[in-house]
Amino acid sequence: MSQTRSEVAVLGMDCAECTLHVRQAIAALPGVRGVEVFLAAEKAVVDYNAAQVDLPAIRKAVQAAGYQAPVGSEEESAAGSLAQMGSSFGRAVLWVLGLVFGAVLLVVVAGEWLGLFEAVTTRIPWPIGWLIVLVGWVPVLRNVITAALRRQVIAHTLMSVGVLAALAVGEWTTAAIVVFFMRVGDSVEHFTAERARRAVKDLTALAPKQARVLRQGAEAMVEIDQVVVGDVVVVRPGEQIPVDGEVVDGSATVDQATLTGEPLPVEAGPGMRVLAATLVRLGSLRVRAEQVGRDTTFGRVIRMVEEAERHRADVQRLADRFSAYFLPFVGLIALLTFVLRRDPLATAAVLVVACSCAIALATPIAVLASIGAGAKRGLLVKGGKYLELLDRADVVLIDKTGTLTLGQPQITDVVPFNGVAADEVLALAAGAERYSEHPLAEAVRRASQAHGLEAVAPSRFEALPGFGVRAQVNGRQVIVGSKRILDGATLPAQAQALEADGKTLLYVAVDGQPQGVLAATDTIRPEVPAALAALRGLGVERIELLTGDNSRTAAALAEQLGVAYQAELLPADKLEVVRRYQGQGKTVVMVGDGVNDAPALAQADVGIAMGAAGSDIAVEASHVVLLRDDWALAPEALRIARRTMRVVRTNIGYTLVYNLIGLTAAALGWLSPVFAAVAQSIPDLVILANSSRLLRQK
């Protein structure tokens, strides 16, 4: 089986139902297993069997459905973009001509209606009038017919019937004005969709495009897609780092703002990991590429924003379902109007006044605008669904180590038991911790180095997630970890005193015997208290600390922060806590560092991973990714969610009410088709203006 996944560019989708049409067109091809279509990224991701169908066939299906599917390869896209420029110029000219003509027509009709001048339009012979209508209408009709052939009714189908009705009763001016507003509506929708796309495009524009690669001792500037893993790239002052990788030479200050929103630059030198799309300010670097292109952290960020539509908000599904019933409903009202009132113009008005595209666009536009604006500040939300859930968060659960604390603990005491030397306990612990990536392991290694001890690499190593490590060091079995490793043995008095001090204790057992304890302290991130206060201010009813650390340490910290806590939890217990709150009907947000919280992060309604730039597990397991270690981003995420959902709800509510009033007025014959045409374009404009505010949020 030759199962392939490809991305196909799809242009011309200005309406939420367009993605549905494209999806259906591609899905109907033989050999296509799955297809997802993204409005903002203007692409389709297709899973297909390459033996049965190929890319040209997929593109043809897209074109047959009435959209453009340009070829993506280098040379062709250059030519393509020229052609596109030409066509967009032609489009602009036509647009201006149409606008001027429509405006003149409107003024004339309005003038006649107000009696400012005698009938002008009646002096124009009807064939010319019809011609005017047809010029504007034919492109619309083409879409209507394409849709009809697929047994689909689109918004313009109804309006076209309205146009037909107007022509039938000899009102070509009415028909022309309806067509004019149909096209105005299209343009507004196109513009709105473009605004939303800008959020994605702005981000893509920041991606590195070229790299200076070291090949055979010489530097060569190459296109970014020519760079492969293992290449060494040279980055000069003021330049962008083009890949994720390790610094092999040089030193520099690196500005990560493009990726994480972090304003303070960091120092980078040999052995350190640097990330694509960040900027070298002072100094220069040689970096060995470990990830390139789409695989870099920045590449993933772009992909997530592009594909955020996958995780749609419930309210969006609702709007989609509404659209599906709305058009038939309008059709029915029109039929009733015609049958009961025998008034073709009122019928036309009913068909013209209803607009469903606005309602279908209301959610995606607002959601995309917010997600794009957030991504630029290091706050990545994987989809509208999570904005919706954040908006109604009840409980916020917080992991302690590495999330609430700086994650750079210091070992303050080494207390040996049974007369063993302190240095021996520390050295064995450091050996056992050699391969652990836990912040506490790092602290143990640092302490042993500071004491000038030589830590022997373990011959066997095993992480015990949530409570420690087990390793074979110098032929002895060494376990380092929480109280849990002691299996209920009584603690020496010294250890209890350290616990009461609020320190984190790491017990060291050698060959099954407790040999000592290390005490560590960690500092709370300075911005935490303010962030927790902000969360409470946003209506979160409960904030709770979840930790694998001992109860006394947790209690001390929880009291200091004024939050509840649960201590001595294993990763599985944290998952259980999340489930329990969900069982009570609460919407649960979990904030974690992702190292061993992945299960709880994934289970939570919204899992927020802190400081996740560069950590793959955290990015995969969570729903919201804070690319920088900054607690202020957590309440910020809630705030953005609030604002977005408020805009979405007003958009939908407004469109609904507006449509109901419009339909009623039209059915009762209070609205001429001309006024109906003017009226139907207003919700589009309101939604555009309302949602655009989200693009500018600070």
> In degrees rounded to 5, what are phi and psi of residue 478?
-115, 130
Residues sharing a CB contact under 8 Å with residue 23, sequence separation 6 or more, in sequence order: 35, 36, 37, 44
Site for ligand ADP in 431-450 (CB under 6 A): 433, 436, 438, 440-441
The residues with which 247 forms a beta bridge, in sequence order, are 287
**Residue-by-residue DSSP string for 243-294:** SEEEEEEEEEEEE-HHHH---S-EEE-TT-EE-TT-EEEEEEEEEEEEE-GG
Q: What's the rounded Cα separation, in Å, for the pair 663 and 656? A: 11
Q: Choose which of 401, 553, 644, 672 interacts with Mg ion (CB under 5 A).
A: 401
If one asks whether residue 651 binds ligand ADP (CB under 6 A), the answer comes out as no
d(CA 290, CA 306): 23
**From ligand ADP, Mg ion, none, which one binds at residue 482 (CB under 5 to 8 Å depending on kind)?**
ligand ADP
Three-state secondary structure call for residue 167: helix
611 is a contact residue toward Mg ion (CB under 5 A): no
The residue count for binding ligand ADP (CB under 6 A) is 22
Selection from 361, 364, 380 nearest residue 372 by Cα:
380
Report the relative pairing of strands 476-481 and 504-510 from DSSP bridges.
antiparallel
* One character per residue 580-599, x = contact with ligand ADP (rule: CB under 6 A): ----------------x---
Residue 170 CA to residue 610 CA, distance in Å, equals 66
String marking each residue 130-169 x if it binds ligand ADP according to CB under 6 A: ----------------------------------------
Binding pattern for the stretch 330-369 against ligand ADP, x by CB under 6 A and - elsewhere: ----------------------------------------
* 636 contacts Mg ion (rule: CB under 5 A): no
Residue with Cβ nearer Mg ion (161 or 444): 444
Beta-bridge partners for 671: none
Q: Measure Cα distances from 354 to 172, 388, 677 in Å.
A: 21, 28, 9
Can residue 547 be called a binding residue for ligand ADP (CB under 6 A)?
Answer: yes
Indicate the residue type of 578. V
Coil, helix or strand for 608? strand
Q: How many angstroms separate the CA atoms of 165 and 338, rounded?
A: 11
CB of 480 to ligand ADP, least distance (A): 5
371 binds ligand ADP (CB under 6 A): no
CA 274 to chain centre: 23
Does residue 665 belong to the site contacting ligand ADP (CB under 6 A)?
Answer: no
Asked if 515 interacts with ligand ADP (CB under 6 A), we say no
Q: Which of 260, 448, 504, 603 binds ligand ADP (CB under 6 A)?
A: 504
Q: Which stretch binds ligand ADP (CB under 6 A): 338-346, 418-426, 480-488, 663-671?
A: 480-488
Distances (CA, A) of 668 to 165, 333, 347, 541: 17, 11, 10, 49
Tokens of 690: 């309302």
- 480 interacts with ligand ADP by CB under 6 A: yes
Supply the angle between the helices 633-667 and 344-353 in degrees, to the nearest 10: 180
From 650, 671, 673, select the one nearest 662 (Cα to Cα).
671
399 binds ligand ADP (CB under 6 A): yes
- Selected binder of ligand ADP within 180, 386, 467, 654 (CB under 6 A): 467
Task: Give 353 or 505: the residue with its C-beta nearer to ligand ADP.
Answer: 505
Least distance from C-beta 569 to ligand ADP, angstroms?
6
Q: Is 207 in the site for ligand ADP (CB under 6 A)?
A: no
482 near ligand ADP (CB under 6 A): yes
Spatial distance between the Cα atoms of 585 and 409, rounded to a whole number of angstroms:
37
Q: Which is nearer to ligand ADP, 58 or 557 (CB)?
A: 557
Between residues 557 and 647, which has the closer beta carbon with respect to ligand ADP? 557
Q: Which does 481 bind (CB under 5 to 8 A by kind): ligand ADP, Mg ion, none?
A: ligand ADP
| Count, residues in the chain | 698
In this chain, which stretch among 131-139, 218-226, 355-363, 464-472 interacts with ligand ADP, using CB under 6 A? 464-472
End-to-end Cα spacing for the chain: 50
Q: Which of 197, 377, 400, 503 binds ligand ADP (CB under 6 A)?
A: 400
d(CA 533, CA 587): 19
The two tokens of residue 600 are: 């709880």
Task: Considering the candidates 391, 399, 522, 593, report the single residue annotated as catalytic.
Answer: 399
* In the complex, least distance from residue 442 CB atom to ligand ADP, rounded to whole angstroms: 9
Judged by CB under 6 A, which stretch of 314-322, 363-371, 430-438, 687-695 contacts ligand ADP? 430-438
Under rule CB under 5 A, residue 399 binds Mg ion: yes
Q: How many CB atoms lie within 10 A of CB 279?
A: 19
Of 136, 242, 372, 402, the one binding Mg ion by CB under 5 A: 402
Residue 399 among the catalytic residues: yes
Please give the residue ranges that form the binding site for Mg ion (CB under 5 A). 399, 401-402
Please give the residue ranges that form the binding site for ligand ADP (CB under 6 A). 399-402, 433, 436, 438, 440-441, 466-469, 480-482, 504, 506, 547-549, 596
Q: Which residues are catalytic?
A: 399
